[in-house]
Structure 1
Amino acid sequence: MGLPVLGILTLYLNDNGALEERPIYQRMSLAGKKLGLDVFVFTPQDVNYKQNRIHAHVYNPATKSWTRRWSSFPNMIYDRCRIQRSHRFQQLLHFRKQYGHLTFLNRVLRNKWTVYKTMRKEARFRAHLPLTRMYESPQDLTEMIRKYPLVYLKPINGTGGRGILRIERHQDGTYLIQGRDQSRRIISPQRVPLSSLHKRLASWNLKSNRYLVQQGIQLKLSNGRVHDYRMLVQKNGEGIWEVTGCAGRIGAPRSITSNLHGGGEAVTMKALLGRWIGNEETAEKVKKTAEELGVQISSFLEQSYGRLCELALDLAIDRKGHIWLLEVNPKPAREVFIQAGEKETYRRAIIRPLEYALWLHDQKKLRKEKSTIRDETNPDT
């Protein structure tokens, strides 16, 4: 009998067949072999729906190259597909509908607004959620900016810092607008009175593009650069949620976000939190509280939306050490750890989904064996 098979589901980045995270998949393929798991990569485009077969991408360690082979469907599917504005994303929706009965390591998480509303229902999380509302009209922004001196405007499905705006109220009554466009380019800062604010934002089509208005947390370091923390929470080889690691991110100069793709840099959480809080003992307590919160959030979201295997939580920690959940990412990258110099955390981040896949496969096998024994013991039931 062959090894259990894990299929990593992804999307081509373009019509030339480029895959976004191929180096990560290569490492997963090699690590899977050592664990006793066969790993291949595929996209919805590679599926033959009539024959229920997949034209898979397979990494060959002997030749250190990728090849293609026709394969049966895997025992488990690890969905790494991120939102795309393309025909490829429509193919993904069709695949998920057609094969939703298969064993997925992770189900689809909802958009930022739905996740926020779900979490707001739980009293234990409310204090950690910056107040957020859907942008339905200019009045929504006006009310928020009057209530809070700093607000962020975020696309409901945006990733990587694209299309985010930061609006800060100054003592003279003017408002500073900063941000990034949909290509992550930093836009020129603008300072306007309230009477001109909405006019300046008109080109962003905030309502039709489905934006959120979120309470801002002051996170500028002494050098003027913003910072936050990326926490990776994953299932381990026993199906239990654990914090794999947490790293600090410092945004590029003039950037309103800390995203690495936008020019940010990664540092260890210990170094950044110690610098921000100033007291080592307090910083250690905050770190422990953040880890406990991360596990609670991940477990709750899995109960709410179905099986998950990993989540990245973007956290802000204010000067008082209070923890704020800025965003939840169900398809996290791992580069933050390698850039922060945490090689062991990076290795664990790659291996844990594989260990969880094996555990899930064993649980399924165990249930099947128990069911067979039950049927044989009670043939008439």
Structure 2
Amino acid sequence: MTKMKVMIHVYSTGFIEDGQTLFLSESFMRNRKIPEGRLITLRYGSFIRQVQAFPVRSSGELRIHQQLARDLGLHHGTQLRLKYHPGTLTLRIGPLIGVLVSRIDPDDADKRFGAMTAYCKELTDACRSQGAFVYFFTPGDIEHGKDRIEGWSYNGSWNKAYFPLADVIHNRLTSRKLENKPSVQYFVKEVKSHYDASVFNEKYLSKNEVFQALTRESGLLKYLPESYAFKNYRILKTMCEKYRSVFLKPARGSLGKGIIRIMKQADGSYICHFTNVNGTKREQFASLSQVFCAISGKMKTMRYQIQQGLQLIEIDGRPVDFRVLVQKNRHGRWSVTSIVGRIAGSQQFVSNLARGGSLCTVSEALSKSNLNSHQRGSVYPRLKASALEIAAGIEAQIPYHFGELGIDLAVEPDGSVWLLEVNSKPSKNDNAPLSSQRIRPSVKRVIQYSLHLSGFRGEES
């Protein structure tokens, strides 16, 4: 099987004007032994059609009529990869990537995808440079039993069109409610089973799910704070007797919302800090039973995880943690794309940007913090190694397909590394490397992994 990159040339006039004829470089057809004028199979995502190929002198082009381009949803000038399999007389172009997003506003040209718009444009630019095509669609665009879908692509402006079902689908839904819709679940199952598509980052991960799964990996226990599903007063009492501070975290929370820190005082009372829309609220309780009464109402509407409190390293009294973005690379293996330090905002005990936190480089975080000076040289490689081990553990123990994970790690002053949480839908802002590159490495890696999944990986001939 051989491959190359080609530029799509769409023509509208000529002697032959139909959707069953295409023109390829004469040398390419000769070298790959593509039979001239005979029927071969053209594949592009779920699109399959019998076509005839004829040679032309120009190289690096695939000429198709506008009728065929319309069926494929392709623009003039699109650069794609091409593979020919002589045994089956099959010509594949691609890869075709579909990104499932939560919302599209057809009336807002500048913010077509809301906060995701800049990322969608960046992903489009990355595809253009690497020889791939991407379109974006929502759960509302899904039509069962159809081998194509209506979505949006960018060609100087955002345009709506029909596209074949993609070779690779990247789930960027930011709502558990949308992700759990029966129509979405059925669609994911259908494209995998009927069209052999790959779907990655299939689902949100809950904190309880992650910690329960990773406890089955003995080599990861050293990274796991003691943690349980919070069910009753007995668990609260046991944890508060064992640790000076404990955290209650919503099992399905994000952006630091709803986290409660409970700290035992020398006089036996307890200080609780609650994150809310206005920042952090502080309350004092005379006893643990009073604490439980104050928080038990929350348990009726939300599941919580209770976790051992950690003494994070600090900069000027502000806790610091680390977001490690791990992604599958062009070889299908986990690799670290970026690590950033996150400093909690003033009067905050969580580091999320949405809570007033700020980013810094790892070296800045380690050098300015109260980390033991003897540990500074070894912490960075241990952050990388632990993130890769945790990603492998997630893959081994949770039966869903993930291509990228945001892994939040804590470091204590003695250099100990702990897992805080794993996010299967890492924010495209919160984990951004501190650079001004037009296309971030994290975006390029999404395309590289999609090339691997679709079978288009490798150097062009």
What interval of TM-score do these two structures reach, taking the shorter chain for normalisation? Answer: 0.7 to 0.9
Residues 118-267 of structure 1 aligned to structure 2 (within 5 Å)? 118-181=213-276, 184-194=277-287, 195-204=289-298, 206-219=299-312, 221=314, 223-267=316-360
Partner of 1:54: 149
Check if 1:335 corresponds to 2:429: yes
Residues 284 and 219 of structure 1: CA distance in aligned 2, closer, same or farther (over 3 Å): same
**CA offset at residue 202 of structure 1?**
3.2
Q: Which amino acid aligns with 1:266?
A: L
Number of corresponding residues: 358
Partner of 1:379: none
CA distance in 1, matches of 2:456, 2:158: 31
Partner of 1:319: 413
**CA offset at residue 45 of structure 1?**
0.8
Residues 360 and 293 of structure 1: CA distance in aligned 2, closer, same or farther (over 3 Å): same
Q: Which amino acid aligns with 1:177?
A: C
Q: Which amino acid aligns with 1:327?
A: E
Secondary structure of 2:187's match? helix
Residues 292 and 345 of structure 1: CA distance in aligned 2, closer, same or farther (over 3 Å): farther
Partner of 2:95: 4
Which has a greater percent of strand?
Answer: 2
Q: Which amino acid aligns with 1:80?
A: R
CA contact (8 A) 2:230 2:303 kept: yes
CA contact (8 A) 1:277 1:283 kept: no
Check if 1:96 corresponds to 2:188: yes
CA distance in 2, matches of 1:254, 1:267: 18
Deviates more, 1:321-330 or 1:8-17: 8-17
CA distance in 1, matches of 2:358, 2:105: 27
**CA offset at residue 225 of structure 1?**
2.2
Structure 2: state its 5+ residue gaps: 1-91
Q: Which amino acid aligns with 2:425?
A: K
Residue number among 56, 67, 71 corresponding to 2:159 in the alignment: 67
Secondary structure of 1:189's match? strand
Residues 108-123 of structure 1 aligned to structure 2 (within 5 Å)? 108=203, 110-123=205-218
Deviates more, 1:48-57 or 1:291-300: 48-57
CA distance in 2, matches of 1:250, 1:38: 37
Residues 9-88 of structure 1 aligned to structure 2 (within 5 Å)? 9-12=100-103, 18-60=113-155, 63=156, 65-85=157-177
TM score, norm. by length of structure 2? 0.72
CA contact (8 A) 1:161 1:262 kept: yes
Residues 222 and 330 of structure 1: CA distance in aligned 2, closer, same or farther (over 3 Å): closer
Residues 281 and 28 of structure 1: CA distance in aligned 2, closer, same or farther (over 3 Å): farther
* Cα displacement string for residues 325-367 of structure 1 (whole angstroms, at most 9, x for unaligned residues): 01001111232454x63345971111101011112212799xx
Q: Which amino acid aligns with 1:332?
A: P
**CA offset at residue 307 of structure 1?**
2.9
**CA offset at residue 3 of structure 1?**
2.8
CA contact (8 A) 1:245 1:345 kept: no
Secondary structure of 2:365's match? helix
Residues 280-299 of structure 1 aligned to structure 2 (within 5 Å)? 282-299=375-392
Which has a greater percent of helix?
Answer: 1
CA distance in 2, matches of 1:222, 1:281: 17
Q: Which amino acid aligns with 1:9?
A: L
**CA offset at residue 163 of structure 1?**
1.0
Residues 87 and 236 of structure 1: CA distance in aligned 2, closer, same or farther (over 3 Å): closer
* Cα displacement string for residues 124-148 of structure 1 (whole angstroms, at most 9, x for unaligned residues): 1112101011111122112111111
Partner of 1:378: none
Residues 260-279 of structure 1 aligned to structure 2 (within 5 Å)? 260-278=353-371
CA contact (8 A) 1:105 1:357 kept: no
CA contact (8 A) 1:13 1:19 kept: yes
CA contact (8 A) 1:45 1:91 kept: no
CA distance in 1, matches of 2:332, 2:355: 34
Residues 172 and 342 of structure 1: CA distance in aligned 2, closer, same or farther (over 3 Å): farther
Larger radius of gyration: 2
CA distance in 2, matches of 1:234, 1:283: 25
Partner of 2:67: none
Structure 1: state its 5+ residue gaps: 366-381
CA distance in 1, matches of 2:104, 2:342: 26
Secondary structure of 2:281's match? coil
Deviates more, 1:220-229 or 1:1-10: 220-229
CA contact (8 A) 2:325 2:431 kept: no
CA distance in 1, matches of 2:410, 2:199: 31
CA distance in 2, matches of 1:170, 1:79: 45
Residue number among 282, 302, 307 corresponding to 2:395 in the alignment: 302
Residues 94 and 360 of structure 1: CA distance in aligned 2, closer, same or farther (over 3 Å): closer
Secondary structure of 2:359's match? strand
RMSD: 2.6
* Cα displacement string for residues 280-313 of structure 1 (whole angstroms, at most 9, x for unaligned residues): 6622311101111111111221122243211110
